[in-house]
């Protein structure tokens, strides 16, 4: 005759685990990003090739590129004022940036937040 004890132990373990949940780690926000009085960080929309952004986003990108460009990996470095990957939609107001430019923006933002003055 087989013992039922191992089977009962497995059921008890499964029932004990049923009440456990794994909670995701909360996202730490650094700042609320407003642009032109709207909480959108200058991002107006997206499509399958990139983002639609406003002039403030482009201005921030240019300023960060000028200041932190040399801290980027060599493969990501472009000269200040380089417009490859950036298309003007509405002059001075609306632009389209490809995802490569957006990734560079994110890297520059990281450098800005974590660099000493």
The confidence score (pLDDT) of residue 111 equals: 93
The confidence score (pLDDT) of residue 104 equals: 94
In a domain, 13, yes or no: no
DSSP SS3 for 92: coil
Count of domains for the chain: 1
When comparing pLDDT for 80 and 28, which is higher? 80
In a domain, 105, yes or no: yes
When comparing pLDDT for 64 and 2, which is higher? 64
98, β-bridge pairs: 50
Which range is least confidently modeled, 26-40, 45-59, 100-114?
A: 26-40
Domain that holds residue 59: 33-114
When comparing pLDDT for 117 and 73, which is higher? 73
In a domain, 14, yes or no: no
Q: What CA–CA distance (Å, rounded) separates 77 from 83?
A: 13
Q: What CA–CA distance (Å, rounded) separates 76 from 73?
A: 5
What is the mean predicted confidence (pLDDT) over 10-24? 54
The confidence score (pLDDT) of residue 76 equals: 87
Taking the CA atoms of the chain, what radius of gyration do you get in angstroms? 24
- State if pTM tops 0.75: no
Average pLDDT in the chain: 79
* H helices present in the chain, as ranges: 5-17, 55-68, 99-114
In a domain, 75, yes or no: yes
């Amino acid at each position: 005759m087989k013992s039922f004890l191992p089977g009962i132990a497995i059921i008890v373990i499964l029932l004990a685990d049923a009440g456990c949940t794994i909670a995701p780690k909360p996202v730490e926000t650094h700042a609320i990003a407003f642009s032109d009085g709207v909480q959108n960080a200058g991002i107006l929309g997206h499509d399958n090739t990139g983002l639609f952004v406003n002039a403030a986003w482009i201005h921030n990108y240019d300023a960060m590129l000028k200041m932190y460009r040399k801290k980027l990996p060599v493969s990501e470095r472009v000269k200040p004022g380089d417009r490859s990957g950036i298309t003007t939609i509405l002059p001075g107001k609306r632009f389209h940036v490809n995802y490569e430019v957006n990734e560079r923006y994110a890297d520059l933002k990281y450098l800005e937040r974590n660099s000493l003055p």
